Amino acid sequence: MSGTEVTTLVRFWAIFGYLLTIVGANWLTAHYGFVPVGLGLAATAGTYLAGLAFVARDAVQDAAGRVASLAVLVAGCGLSCFLPTPALALASAAAFGLSELVDMAVYTPLRKRGYVRAAVASNLIGSVVDTFVFLWLAGFGLTALVVGGQLVGKAYATIAVVGAVVTARVLLRHRVNRAGA
């Protein structure tokens, strides 16, 4: 497989994964409502996938650029319009749109200093914006248990994915170094 084919494949899977996290988060929330996330907290069922969406957006930006990232964001927000209730559709589209733009605004300048710093900082800020905008517009209320649950759930997702990316990079670097030795 050529380098161009690998790049195209990476772009495809990054974009597909990003759209899947947006649609999946919305579907889970619409169908299952609230779920426990541990520590006595609850969050909407789509919280974990919403947390993954921030990392997926970062991956789209890295693989395909900011314009592609914005295009996929718009497509994901458009797909949110097919949710069962207008309030949930509006809340989801507004929260994803605003929080992902904030994520991009933080991620882009920090990316030059390294992936982990950029992903963690942008996901943290994006998660806070997403949580407050979504819960408020969807009419779920801003109780400490739910806000905390949303933030904890998204933090779990960020830690898991960023940890997996870092682990994969270390293993690949080790493999490349061994092959070159």
pLDDT tens per residue, range 19-56: 999 888 888 988 898 999 988 999 999 999 988 888 89
Type of residue numbered 170: V
CB neighbour list of residue 62: distance below 8 Å, 6 or more residues apart:
14, 111, 115
pLDDT tens per residue, range 93-147: 899 889 989 999 999 999 999 999 999 999 999 999 999 999 999 888 888 888 9
Token pair for 37: 């996330």
pLDDT tens per residue, range 151-169: 999 999 989 988 998 898 8
pTM of this prediction?
A: 0.86
The band of 181, judged by pLDDT with boundaries at 50, 70 and 90, is: low
**Is the predicted pLDDT of residue 12 greater than 90, yes or no?**
yes
Q: Under a CB-based contact definition with an 8 Å cutoff, are residues 77 and 97 in contact?
A: yes
**Is the predicted pLDDT of residue 87 greater than 70, yes or no?**
yes
**Is the predicted pLDDT of residue 179 greater than 80, yes or no?**
no
| Residue 98: predicted pLDDT | 94
